[in-house]
A and B are shown apart, each in its own frame.
Chain A
Amino acid sequence: MSELHLKSIAELSAGLAAGEYSSEELTRHFLARIQELDEGLNSVVTLAEEASLAAAAAADARIAKGEAGPLTGIPILHKDIFCTQGVRTACGSRMLDNFISPYDATVVSRLKDAGVVMLGKTNMDEFAMGSSNETSYYGPVRNPWDRDRVPGGSSGGSAAAVAARLAVAATGTDTGGSIRQPAALCGITGLKPTYGRVSRYGMIAFASSLDQAGPMTRSAEDAAWLLAAMAGFDERDSTSVDRPVDDYLGQLDQDIKGLRVGVVKEFFEDGLNPGMRESMETAMEQLKALGAELVDVSLPNSHHSVAAYYVVAPAECSSNLSRFDGVRFGHRCENPVDLEDLYKRSRAEGFGPEVKRRIMIGAYALSAGYYDAYYLKAQQVRQVIADDFRKAFENVDVLLGPASPETAFRLGEKSDDPVSMYLSDIYTIAVNLAGLPALSMPAPLVDGLPAGLQLIGNYFDEGRILNLAHQLQQATDWHLQMPEGY
């Protein structure tokens, strides 16, 4: 029983089916781990104890009747950006501290239908704006590998919880790297799907042309299980793509001999930490040993991605977050003298400093006379970056690089300097601008801290990057490395 948190989804699913343990026992095991171990991490903001036990009982009934699917009875955590009916959805913000969602996000309802048990909600940067999880109203999350260090962000709570084995898996969202960068810093596998592959309905919007939800797991195989349940067309999301979901699990065992892997030159330049470079090179040697063919590739305009991103994302956020007006839901100031005072003070009190900065940058970029110089220009830069990827994929099957320029940094190290924080996502942002799928998986540790290898696929090629990651994980034990004390 004590080893339940080390088992894969496939192992747990088999154990549940064979009656070795019940979903209730499994759920209690993880609830106890969260209660015992999360105090020093702060990765879980809402524990849904009663609801999870009720869901586990329902899962056990389904298993007994022989109506279970592969995820039935598996306990996971949801990032607090996903609306969960009847359970507080605060999105890391004082603005939504009192918000009990009246409906479920599609990701949540799909996983619920599959019989997944939700243990609770994970901490995150406020409205997913941050790369360290320090902007949360609920306090920073700490990295289980070194609690003086950040877990990355914005899905920092999900990454830390999965790294510490407080849940089998967790959901995350990625607008500029918010799944991959924390996955890298915490030593887990995190996948951002193709834009439009997973429904955004009920996922609190940050930048609608970039946001995507994905799985955060201990292995590529677990990610394939979860993605299979999360992905698919949803008429409630106008940007959802109506296209069949590939057989991710079936693709995992494909031979990768002869697969052409492009090593992105620009991701190995001066900004990369030397230890990180060495870790990436070890991973590349392993890929070669498995028969993959490594090819040098250039994305000559990728260094423009951070600049374009900090127009597109703030512009869309200033529009999306205008809904928080103190009238229909969320925080409202005391004794407003008039409507403008109500808006201004409710928003001043409800939002933290980073969210305010981004809303203001967006409001400025979209204000009269500036549209062409900022938003339109950024969308042109975005096209150039997407064209770079298109050209690269004419010659290779997958692209490779680090997910982050360095290992986890210390709490407070970058929190006073927004621009230095923004540069944490230098290797992840271009992928969001182009709408491509990509994952980060553990590579060899650097000075005792996790390093993330990033694999980028062509549009809808999630199956192929999962296949490559799985083959690497079959041949190595990097993904099995765990922080001490968990």
Chain B
Amino acid sequence: MSLDAEEVEKIAHLARIAVTSDEVEALKGELSGILDLVARMSELDTSEIVPMAHPLDMPQRLRPDVVTEENHREAYQAVAPAVDNGLYLVPRVIE
């Protein structure tokens, strides 16, 4: 497996991580090396194997559809980078 610069940039975009051209160069080799390690899985024939969904074969637990949480907006927004009037602030999205 050998990723090129364009593929690394595409992956970085999917991951929403800004990368410099120097980082792209380093990542090409590093990510390719990890994918080579991962590719060793293909040595194992798993055509008849049911993929694991849960180590204990447990189904997802359901709970009654009732309100159990209290409102903690103030406490949670106290650690936010920018809030105003109970709203999280981000750069303008709609012109």
Contacts and interface: CB of A to CB of B under 8 A. Distances in A.
B55 interface: yes
A361 B34 contact: yes
Name A's interface SS: helix
Interface residues of B, number: 50
Interface string A208-238: 0100000000000000000000000001001
A82 interface: no
Nearest to A332: B81
Contacts of B51: 376, 379-380, 382-383
A418 B30 contact: yes
Q: How large is the interface on A (under 10, 10 to 19, 20 to 34, 35 or more residues)?
A: 35 or more
A367 B31 CA distance: 15
Contacts of B46: 377, 380-381, 383-384
A360 B52 contact: no
A360 B9 CA distance: 10
B81 A327 contact: yes
Interface in B58-83: 58, 60-61, 63, 72, 75-76, 78-82
Contacts of B79: 98-102, 329
A348 B31 contact: no
Nearest to A308: B41
B41 A347 contact: no
B15 to A, nearest CB: 4
A389 B18 CA distance: 42
Nearest to B47: A380
A351 B19 CA distance: 12
A431 to B, nearest CB: 10
A304 interface: yes
B86 interface: no
A342 interface: yes
B43 interface: yes
B49 to A, nearest CB: 4
B90 A318 contact: no
Contacts of A98: 79
B55 A419 contact: no
Among B16, B53, B58, chain A packs the most CB atoms within 10 A around the CB of: B16
A287 to B, nearest CB: 27
Contact of A336 (B33, B60, B72, B91): B91
Contacts of A344: 16-18
Contact of B38 (A336, A351, A374): A374
Contact of B55 (A99, A386, A422): A386
Interface in B2-57: 8, 11-12, 14-19, 27, 30-31, 33-44, 46, 49-56
A347 B18 CA distance: 7
A419 B33 contact: yes
B57 to A, nearest CB: 10
B62 to A, nearest CB: 10
A206 interface: no
Among B53, B55, B58, chain A packs the most CB atoms within 10 A around the CB of: B55
A235 to B, nearest CB: 7
Given A239-B58, A307-B40, A383-B51, A327 B80 contact: yes
Nearest to A301: B44
Given A332-B81, A348-B19, A364 B88 contact: no
A447 interface: no
A359 B82 contact: no
Given A327-B80, A374-B38, A360 B15 contact: yes
Interface string A274-309: 000000000000000000000000000100101110
Contacts of A418: 30, 33-34
A364 B41 contact: no
Contacts of B82: 332
Contacts of A463: none
23 contacts: A102-B78, A103-B72, A195-B55, A196-B58, A307-B40, A311-B38, A318-B15, A328-B80, A329-B81, A330-B81, A332-B81, A336-B90, A340-B16, A342-B91, A357-B34, A360-B31, A361-B31, A364-B14, A367-B14, A377-B46, A383-B50, A383-B51, A383-B52
Interface of B: 8, 11-12, 14-19, 27, 30-31, 33-44, 46, 49-56, 58, 60-61, 63, 72, 75-76, 78-82, 88, 90-93
Interface of A: 98-103, 194-196, 209, 235, 238-239, 241-242, 301, 304, 306-308, 310-311, 318, 322, 325-332, 336-345, 347-348, 351, 356-357, 359-365, 367, 374, 376-384, 386, 418-419, 422, 433-435, 459
In the A-B complex, list the 4 residue pairs whose CB atoms are closest, starting with the nearest.
A435-B55, A379-B51, A380-B46, A332-B81
